[in-house]
Amino acid sequence: MGGNTFDLVGTISDLLRRIEEGRKTIRETQNVRDEFWRICANRDDALRHSQELQLKMLSLGEPAKSEAKAEFDFHVAEYHRLDSESSDLWRQSNDTLTFIDPFGSDVLLLLERLPLRPEWDVYRDAVGAIDVSADGSWKDPPTTSALGTLEMRLREMLDLATPKQRGPVRRFDPFPTPDGARWKDVSITFISEHRVQIAVLRVIETRSYAEMGFEDRRGGGGKPDGAWERLKVLAKASGRIERPSDFKRPGWPKVEKQVQVIRARLRELFCIAGDPLPFRKHIGYEAQFRIKLSNSVGH
């Protein structure tokens, strides 16, 4: 990540690639860690047996004491053999995890070099609080949700960092956004289940879900997709999707994916820089534009 210039898109993409490579490394070397713990258990058993025999020999006479001594010597030798083997496996196991600390350092370096614009502030806080230093984050299945959360945030950041160009798009025509308009200047009002009125400064249009790029084209199309329904829920909640108490609760990953789709479609539609729907650490997703249901649409 060194050099004279900082490639934001390339850096985020590289971190996402390293997440996949790290998961693969952990998966392919799991046998080393499993063998380490198996050897440790056998080593501890040998130590326990030797300690028990040492105490037992104090009360034994010959020849039972000699027999116990021979067994004691066997368990002591076995303990030392297994201890040496476990030490080797411990070093091998640690070698498989050496990528984690440099990865974490590069994530922190990314946060230091993010653009000094308001839309990036939430990522400095949210990503900075994610700890993926434990190998359990990288396992399949993981023992914590930290790495999955980091991966999702990095994908959001990549989407935010990727330049959006004005011009025709395949699914819909861009809105005639006035030069200099910002997300706070955008207003979206649902006037029916399938249609909205859009106002950006002095420009006003009405559009259907298809004309905004929210058509589900499977099976021939003709119906809105899940992201449109989530946009409608956002309107009903006056522009907020509350942060869940448990990010692992059923249905939340689907919400996050729909939010990513909404971001992408709105950026294509309005060609306005920045994140239209950022995640606030203690709030949840909060629209930077105005969105509501009209009185004619049932709440």
C-beta neighbour count of 238 within 10 angstroms: 11
CA gap 175, 183 in Å, rounded: 13
pLDDT at 171: 60
pLDDT at 169: 39
pLDDT at 68: 82
User: Tokens 């692992």 label which residue?
Assistant: 248
Can you give the pTM of this predicted structure? Answer: 0.49
C-beta neighbour count of 284 within 10 angstroms: 15
Strand pairing category for 186-190 and 290-293: parallel
Which residues make Cβ contacts (< 8 Å) with residue 212, sequence separation at least 6? 172, 196, 228, 265, 269
pLDDT at 276: 94
Q: Which of 291, 122, 134 is nearest to 212 (CA)?
A: 291
CA gap 288, 187 in Å, rounded: 10
CA gap 37, 127 in Å, rounded: 32
pLDDT at 170: 44
Angle at 187 between CA 184 and CA 192, to 5 degrees: 155
pLDDT at 200: 95
- Dihedral sign computed on CA atoms, order 176, 179, 183, 186: negative
Enumerate residue ranges in the chain where pLDDT < 50: 1-3, 165-170
pLDDT at 298: 58
pLDDT at 107: 94
pLDDT at 199: 96
Angle at 189 between CA 184 and CA 194, to 5 degrees: 135
pLDDT at 140: 77
